[in-house]
Amino acid sequence: MYFSALKVALVVGTILLLINQYDAIFSTAEIRWLPAILTYCVPFAVFLLGQRNARLKSENKSESKQDNEQSIDD
């Protein structure tokens, strides 16, 4: 899961970095390092949280389905 998050962060982060730091990359403006680093951290964290929430939702659905099956059998 971390490897997938890293791949997403590299792709999305690079696109966002080009948009946000265009003048610093292709001109004479100075690069802002903290925003540049956070540009990669945000998609990484969003991917991991999304995967975690999807897994928890899936587990809750399977538990709910099992509970319904048990109550029908009773």
- Per-residue confidence band for 73, with pLDDT thresholds at 50, 70 and 90: low
Token pair 């925003």 in the structure block, residue: 35
The tens digit of pLDDT for each residue in 19-66 reads: 999 999 999 999 999 999 999 999 999 999 999 999 999 988 877 766
Domain count, the chain: 1
Q: Pick from 22, 21, 4, 16: which is nearest to 40 by CA?
A: 16
Which residues lie below 8 Å from residue 69, measured CB to CB, with a gap of 6+?
Answer: none
Helix (H) or strand (E) holding 33: helix 33-73
pLDDT at 64: 74
Q: Which residues form the domain of 17?
A: 2-73
pLDDT at 61: 82
Task: Retrieve residue 56's tokens.
Answer: 């928890």
